[in-house]
Amino acid sequence: MKGIKRYKRVIAMSAAALGLAAALTVNDAIAYFTASVSAEGSQVVNLGSETEITEEPGRGMKKITITNSGENDCFVRVKAFAPANISISYSEDEGNDNWSEGDEGYYYYGLVLAAGGSATVLNVEFDIPENFDRDEFNLVVVQECTPVRHRDDGTEYADWSTVYREYQDENGEEAVNP
């Protein structure tokens, strides 16, 4: 009889220890399952930085104006492309000194372009050789914008390494900004 009581006591103690160990590890398992998530698809994020370019063609030049049509301040840059035998130069109207040459052939507007504001005019000038077919000539001007970022001390800067792309939805169609 003593052997059976002792056996029951050992089984009860073992069951209690096993129950206590299980109770202590449940919190870790619950934490794992509540901290892990998965997602599918994509969504276009509207960062509020949108710009529009205005090109006024003239004889041997284009006057470029960039307007911030978005909701947030941004930085802008411009680059012109032409056939290899066409020389391109950039200038500003007299009294302005807001554009400067930067990396990869871009010209950077040195000021923050406020929402609803326009940059000063950037003149893109080009020389077409005499024997060049003027009907086939096309000067392409590309402009880009990036949201204003702030350093720890509050100074504003542009991060041109950040790339934002629009994605396709699950049906393969281009997602539309909300």
Q: What is the three-class DSSP state of 22?
A: helix
User: Is there a single domain that holds both residue 112 and residue 153?
Assistant: yes
User: Is there a single domain that holds both residue 93 and residue 143?
Assistant: yes
Strand partners, 67: 52, 118
Q: Is the pLDDT of residue 12 over 60?
A: yes
Digit-coded pLDDT (tens) for 48-101:
578 999 999 988 899 999 999 988 899 999 999 988 888 899 999 888 999 999
Residue 178 maps to a domain: no
Q: Is the pLDDT of residue 11 over 60?
A: yes
User: Is there a single domain that holds both residue 58 and residue 116?
Assistant: yes
Residue 4 maps to a domain: yes
Q: Is the pLDDT of residue 38 over 60?
A: no
Question: Average pLDDT in the 39-56 region?
Answer: 71
* CA-wise closest residue to 105 among 81, 83, 72, 139: 81
pTM of the model: 0.65
Question: In the chain, which ranges are E strands?
Answer: 51-58, 61-68, 74-81, 87-92, 99-101, 107-109, 122-127, 140-150, 156-158
Digit-coded pLDDT (tens) for 106-165:
999 999 999 999 999 999 999 888 887 777 778 899 999 999 999 999 999 998 887 665
CB 142 within 8 A of CB 81: yes
Question: Average pLDDT in the 15-21 region?
Answer: 74
Distance separating alpha carbons of residues 158 and 168, to the nearest angstrom:
27
Half-sphere exposure of 26 (CA within 13 A, CB side): 7
More confident residue, 17 or 82: 82
Q: Is the pLDDT of residue 171 over 50?
A: yes
What's the number of domains the chain is made of? Answer: 2
User: Is there a single domain that holds both residue 13 and residue 89?
Assistant: no
Q: Is the pLDDT of residue 17 over 50?
A: yes
Distance separating alpha carbons of residues 35 and 8, to the nearest angstrom:
41
Locate 18 and state its tokens: 């096993």
User: Is there a single domain that holds both residue 58 and residue 112?
Assistant: yes
Compute and round to an integer the Cα radius of gyration of the chain: 32
* CA-wise closest residue to 8 among 16, 19, 22, 23: 16
Q: What is the domain range of residue 17?
A: 1-38
Reported as type and span, the H/E element at residue 43 is none
User: Is there a single domain that holds both residue 136 and residue 74?
Assistant: yes
Residue 172 maps to a domain: no
CB atoms within 10 A of CB 158: 20
pLDDT on residue 152 = 94
